[in-house]
Copies of this chain bind each other. A is one copy, B any other.
Amino acid sequence: MQVDVISSVIEVRSDDFVQKTVIAIDVLRATSTIVTALAHGCSSVVPVETVNQAKQLQLPEDLLGGERFCKKIAGFHFGNSPFEYMTPDIAGKRIVLTTTNGTRAIQKAQRASHVLAGSLLNASACARAAVALKRDVVILCAGTQDEFSLEDGLCAGLLIRKLEDVSNECPETNDFGAAMRLAYDSASDRLEETLLQGSNGKRLSKIGYREDVSFCSQIDRFDLVPILRDQAMIRF
């Protein structure tokens, strides 16, 4: 199995994903939030790029979620904090979600055979699903405004370790994947602290979302994998 890691959305080339399974990662916070929302009973999460797309797509029963510059969008039901989605209000509902980087990564990956949402919260489940899908894997780190984000890279490294465990082989990786695996190995016993030192961790802490960073630092909190089907992320 080949497992390549791409450092941010801007690095994507159009043919990178053909015949592959893509695992899109935006640890702080889009993919962590999608995983959390599905774990709390929503039926699906539809990732869209713009606020207008979200409003146009919204059916009467749908809920709107999303952020710009880490803040909730005016008129939306929820922002992009996983804690907002831990409510019975979302049970059975479709959520239309727009975030700055994470939903863009999922959109970019649409040419792949399969698109999964990965985070620290669902790493093992994600690795098992990727192995079950029997394709080479591309781990796409969303990054932040076209820059690499530390937490996405560490999650990529963790996913490679989990893929090794599940597949009982050492997957071939590109050089960037090899570096992320090494970085994860260094940080694995102090993930929360390391995430808090990254640029997104610092920014979120500063504006009152330190608990989000702590929550998103947990490994394998949920045993589920969001997969893209007909433009919506549903449980695999």
* B-binding residues in A (CB < 8 A): 7, 147-150, 153-154, 174-176, 178-180, 182-187, 194, 197-199
Contact = CB atoms under 8 A, between A and B. Distances in A.
Nearest to A156: B179
Given A148-B174, A154-B179, 12 more contacts: A7-B148, A147-B176, A150-B176, A150-B178, A153-B175, A175-B198, A179-B180, A179-B183, A182-B183, A182-B186, A183-B186, A185-B186
Contacts of A154: 179, 182
9 contacts: A148-B179, A149-B175, A150-B178, A175-B198, A178-B198, A180-B183, A182-B183, A182-B186, A182-B194
Contacts of A149: 175
A210 to B, nearest CB: 18
Contacts of A186: 182-183, 185-186
A153 B148 CA distance: 14
A184 B179 CA distance: 8
Contacts of A199: 174-175
Nearest to A184: B182
